[in-house]
Structure 1
Amino acid sequence: MERWLALELASTIRHDGDGGVTDDLATAQGATRWIQAQTDLLPVHLRVGECVADEALWGEITELRRAVRALFAKAVSPAPPSAADACQLPSAEQALAHLNAVAAREAVVPRLDWPPEGAPVARLLPTDHDPRIRLMAALARAAVDFLSGPQRLQLRACSAPRCVRYFLKSHGRQEWCKPSCGNRARAARHYQRQRMAADRPSPSS
């Protein structure tokens, strides 16, 4: 399954497997570990090894995540958003303004490469050498690409009990992010039906 950087960022808030919610970005150290784990999704020009999250960078990443999750909530509407933080998110308008502002922090210039034995290729090269600015711009632009692309139409909030993840719907009947969530949802529905049957008054004799 293809991984999307914006979805990875939103998914740092997730079900912990024990009925609660965990935050992979709860500390600056956690943010650094998460950055290192995204090496294959970040631009090749970004010096990921230099992106050690201090308090300032940690705050910027978590604030950008809030904007991304607010826009994910807008994308899945009118279906319910993830219940993890829906009541704590900024408005869609505020989130959009923040996302665009972060994406614009790093200027880029076009470059044409034309190898002797190949077709010309256009690339956008960054002009800022600060890896932190590059990181934040890359995260924001990944969200811009995701939300402006066709994958936005497949975005869903998992409806299984206790799950708070967003996921991409891969087929028409998919309701949950993974099979274990489907099993939990079906078990909850079965339990609810049993309770309703037990509470139903017996017909008078």
Structure 2
Amino acid sequence: MEEPALPPATGEKEHLSLALANSAIALAGGHTVDLLGTPAQANRWLTERGLAPVDAGMMEMCAAQVRSLREQIRSLFASRAAGLPALPAAVAAINDAMTRVPTAPLLRWDDKAGPYRTTPHPTTEIVDHALATVAADAADLLTGPDAERLTACGSTPCNRYLLRHGRRHWCSTRCGDRARAARAYARRTRSGA
């Protein structure tokens, strides 16, 4: 299915974690679009947000890590929006992503050449840094002043999150129009029955 051209939900430009959470999109008719469905798509998503170079060479293992973090962030956002306790595994995943990144090249020892410093595999390091950045943003969003505004889109079947602004309950005008049309249809069918 073609990737939909949806505008970013309110807050996505300020919060990478919100953009990541919204990268799996439920559409009408039971269709879904995963903007991270393949390694190339995951690489493109990270590149568009300045988290990876175009030629990072993302492999499926790395793309799966990005998708996994997305699901943990979605779980935390759902808990926050509904006022429910968070799953401990989701909290642990965010903390793990934030602390997994080495802050300096690691010390290695070669029996012949002696000690030297090196960084881990370049692509893995890129993904780890990207995940740490997004996880830190999620932690900041969940604990910061915008946390009270975090909500799920009010239009079925949309599964995106947004930062509520005023009376707006939808992630996009498309979802708002769909919700208004559904209400109008319900009124017409009630009055015609």
Q: TM-score, normalised by structure 1?
A: 0.71
Q: Report the AA paired with residue 104 of structure 1.
A: T
Query: Which of the numbers 183, 190, 197 marks the counterpart of 2:184?
Result: 190
Q: Which amino acid aligns with 1:180?
A: R
Any gaps of 5 or more consecutive residues in structure 1? Answer: 80-90, 110-126, 200-205
The equivalences for 1:38-77 within 5 A come to: 38-39=49-50, 42=51, 48-49=53-54, 51-77=56-82
User: Which stretch has the larger CA shift, 12-21 or 65-74?
Assistant: 12-21
Q: Which residue of 2 aligns with 1:104?
A: 99
- Matched with 2:114 is none
Letter of the structure 1 residue corresponding to residue 183 of structure 2: R
Within-5 A mapping of 1:124-163: 130-163=125-158
Q: Does structure 2 conserve the Cα–Cα contact (< 8 Å) formed by 1:24 and 1:34? A: yes
> Contact (CA 8 Å) 2:25, 2:32: kept in 1 or not?
yes
Deviates more, 1:63-72 or 1:99-108: 99-108
Contact residue 44 and residue 54 of structure 2 kept, 8 A: no
Tell which has more relative contact order, 1 or 2 (C-alpha 8 A, sep 6+). 2
Matched-pair identity in % = 31
How many Å separate the matches in 2 of 1:61 and 1:181? Answer: 26
What letter corresponds to residue 9 of structure 1 in structure 2? L
- Provide the C-alpha distance between the structure 2 equivalents of 1:51 and 1:138, rounded to a whole number of angstroms: 17
Q: CA RMSD in A?
A: 2.5
Residues 36 and 48, structure 1, Cα contact 8 Å, conserved in 2: yes
Shift of 1:36: 0.9
Kindly provide the amino acid, as one letter, of the partner of residue 37 in structure 2: A
Q: Which runs of 5+ in 2 are unaligned?
A: 1-9, 105-118
Distance 1:136 1:184 in 2: 34
Per-residue displacement from partner, 1:111-155 (whole Å, max 9, x unpaired)? xxxxxxxxxxxxxxxx97732322222222121122121112111
Q: Does 1:29 align with 2:24?
A: no
**TM-score, normalising length: structure 2:** 0.75
Larger displacement relative to structure 2 (160-169 or 11-20): 11-20
1:174 aligned to 2:185?
no
Q: What is the aligned residue count? A: 164
Q: Which residue of 2 aligns with 1:13?
A: 24
Q: Residue 18 and residue 152 in structure 1: after superposition, are their counterparts in 2 closer, same or farther (change >3 A)? A: same
Q: Is the Cα–Cα contact under 8 Å of residues 35 and 51 in structure 1 kept in the other structure?
A: no
